């Protein structure tokens, strides 16, 4: 059933895009927690253990459209969220040595009413039924308001556009893959507080993170990927205390040809917030991902993927994300 939902959105999205809309390259998809409030802390997006060769330079552009909808009324908190966000990320990576690469990502956001409401309603009616938050907000075109104890914590204006927090990354490959040993790398990340906090595009504080990435080929055309990360946010967001975040993914890629692959992925994110009184902030996120990778030219790679909320932990994840990524590699 989830597969049918993905196929519907991928076909719909492709029909409305020029051919140049594209992706990162083979490996796990560079997915992060697209939940609008959890996204304020440093992300360690999905990545391979393999690093760029010395002198190679990657330029990656990702455009992701996320539909967010939440309605939660508790004794302590009141949440009304119904909007879509376009996140555009420019990601630059450079191979310092054959084992070490560095990178930086510059994100920008645009929040609006969106275009996915109709298709999502159609799919929900034909499969699992219309979700409770969508029923509760069916007559609302746009909403972004979260209060706690009568105090407004988050409020975002429709049509807002702004810069997000810029992140810097490093990756060092500890093990090269052999017939027995998987490729293994350690990753680090730091986030600078450059985002517009008034429009909920930044946290106002730096964060740091560390993680591991593993790759292993098996059975000829299959590759297994795994990531495990810890993120340590600093300061407070909207007066709320923060806690360390654990995230991870497991992905399997099938190489259909040398230039085309299909990847399925599972992601988990623990929440950066706690004790707020609403599951939208206090609960973790579980999501599945399905998409394709295609090598358009020797140096040009394209991915298209969809991210679906699994609802193992109800009420905390973004509803649905559709992303397209284009990467060009300059060889040394």
Which pLDDT tens digit goes with each residue over 138-148?
A: 889 999 999 98
Residue 184 has pLDDT above 50, yes or no: yes
- Cα 301 to Cα 239: distance, rounded to the nearest angstrom: 42
Structure confidence at residue 307 (pLDDT) = 96
Structure confidence at residue 138 (pLDDT) = 86
Measured N-to-C along each axis, helices 117-126 and 2-15 cross at an angle, to the nearest 10 degrees, of: 150
The least confident of 24-28, 222-226, 242-246, 267-271 is 24-28
Structure confidence at residue 13 (pLDDT) = 41
DSSP run (H or E) holding 30: none
CA separation, residue 214 to residues 11, 133, 222, 227, 313 (Å): 31, 37, 14, 6, 26
Residue 293 has pLDDT above 70, yes or no: yes
Residue 187 has pLDDT above 50, yes or no: yes
Residue 3 has pLDDT above 80, yes or no: no
CATH of the domain at 76: 2.40.160.40
Closest CA to 173 of 160, 161, 182: 182
28's tokens: 């796990």
pLDDT one-digit tens code per residue, 67-95: 999 998 888 889 999 999 999 999 999 99
Structure confidence at residue 312 (pLDDT) = 64
User: What is the rounded average pLDDT of the residues 20-41?
Assistant: 78
Q: Which of 74-83, 165-174, 302-311 has the highest mean pLDDT?
A: 165-174
CB 6 within 8 A of CB 308: yes
Residue 253 has pLDDT above 60, yes or no: yes
Residue with structure tokens 């298709």?
A: 119
Closest CA to 230 of 25, 29, 31, 43: 43
pLDDT band, residue 106 (cuts 50/70/90)? very high
Q: Which domain holds residue 114?
A: 2-330
Q: Where are the alpha helices (H) located in the chain, listed in sequence order?
A: 2-15, 117-126, 132-136, 279-282
Specify the higher pLDDT residue, 2 or 124: 124
Count of the separate structural domains present in the chain: 1
Specify the higher pLDDT residue, 290 or 150: 290
């Amino acid at each position: 059933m989830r597969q049918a939902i993905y196929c519907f959105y991928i076909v719909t999205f492709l029909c409305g895009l020029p051919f140049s809309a594209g992706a990162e390259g083979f490996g796990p998809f560079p997915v992060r927690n697209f939940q609008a409030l959890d996204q304020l802390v440093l992300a360690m997006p999905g990545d391979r253990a393999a690093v760029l060769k010395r002198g190679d330079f990657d330029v990656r552009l990702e455009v992701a459209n996320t539909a967010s909808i939440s309605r939660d009324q508790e004794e302590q908190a009141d949440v009304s969220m119904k909007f879509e966000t376009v996140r555009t990320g420019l990601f630059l990576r450079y191979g310092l040595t054959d084992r070490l690469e560095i990178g930086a990502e510059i994100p920008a956001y645009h929040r609006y009413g969106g275009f996915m409401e109709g298709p999502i309603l159609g799919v929900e009616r034909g499969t699992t039924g219309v979700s409770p938050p969508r029923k509760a907000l069916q007559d609302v075109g746009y909403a972004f308001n979260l209060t706690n104890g009568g105090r407004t914590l988050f409020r975002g204006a429709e049509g807002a556009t702004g810069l997000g927090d810029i992140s810097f990354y490093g990756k060092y490959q500890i093990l090269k893959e052999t017939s027995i040993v998987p490729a293994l790398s350690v990753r680090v990340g730091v986030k600078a507080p450059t985002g517009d906090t008034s429009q909920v595009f930044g946290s106002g504080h730096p964060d740091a993170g560390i993680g591991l990435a593993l790759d292993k080929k098996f059975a000829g055309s299959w590759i297994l990927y795994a990531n495990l990360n810890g993120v340590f946010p600093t300061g407070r967001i909207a007066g709320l205390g923060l806690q360390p975040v654990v995230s991870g993914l497991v992905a399997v890629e099938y190489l259909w040809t040398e230039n085309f692959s299909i990847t399925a992925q599972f992601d988990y994110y623990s929440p950066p917030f706690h004790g707020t009184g609403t599951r939208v902030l206090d609960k973790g996120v579980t999501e599945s991902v399905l998409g394709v990778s295609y090598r358009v030219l020797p140096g040009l790679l394209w991915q298209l993927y969809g991210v679906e909320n699994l609802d193992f932990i109800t009420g905390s994840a973004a509803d649905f994300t559709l992303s397209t990524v284009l990467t060009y590699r300059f060889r040394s």
